Amino acid sequence: MHESKRKDDKAAELNLLPVMNLVTILIPLLLMSAQLVQLAVIDSTLPAITNEPAPPRPDPTVTPLQVSLGISRSGLTLMGVERVFGEEDTSLPCAGGVCATVDSYDFAGLTAKLIEVKDAHPEADVLILVPDERVSYEVLVSAMDAARQDSDRLLFPNVTIAGGLSG
């Protein structure tokens, strides 16, 4: 009878090490593959319900001003502003023909020209940057800063970066 008791003791002892190894491996794997929270926000404004008449629609025959800024290693060029400047040259070349540093660009001149555009077309608020592929990120940020606001007012707060110039 004493021997049968020993067999029961051995049968009752379980080896939990493989189960613990499996749990140790599965928990991080499941946590990494689980998508805990995914939030998406669509920014939109709904029309308000009022008794007031709707605002007048813009005239479809008038095309809005589309201002673009070409940025290359030779300087800055405003495009799409012929209504403001006519045949006047809207390029702001760098001294010496090549812009070696970010300080070589004429961002003060750019802001002055954009103030003229904004004075002629106060409704315009979008500027499209068209950089050359060799232009540094610092130049892009400086161009955005020069175009967004003057010391006392917003000029072109909505700046978009388009595909680059080739060459």
Average pLDDT rounded to a whole number, residues 37-62: 68
pLDDT exceeds 80 at position 34: no
Distance, CA of 63 to CA of 84 (rounded, Å):
14
Question: Which residue, among 147, 65, 56, has the nearest Cα to 108 in the 3D structure?
Answer: 147
Distance, CA of 94 to CA of 100 (rounded, Å):
9
Provide the pLDDT for residue 87. Answer: 75
DSSP string, 25-73: HHHHHHHHH------------PPP--SSPPPPPPPTTSPPP-EEEEEET
Question: Which residue, among 91, 75, 80, has the nearest Cα to 121 in the 3D structure?
Answer: 80
Task: Count CB-CB contacts under 10 A for residue 15.
Answer: 7
Domain spans, the chain: 67-161
pLDDT exceeds 70 at position 44: no
Distance, CA of 73 to CA of 157 (rounded, Å):
24
Q: What is the pTM of this model?
A: 0.60
Under the banding of pLDDT at 50, 70 and 90, the label for residue 150 is: confident
Average pLDDT rounded to a whole number, residues 47-60: 72
Percent of the chain with pLDDT over 70: 79
Q: 118-135: per-residue pLDDT in tens?
A: 888 888 888 888 888 888
Provide the pLDDT for residue 13. Answer: 76
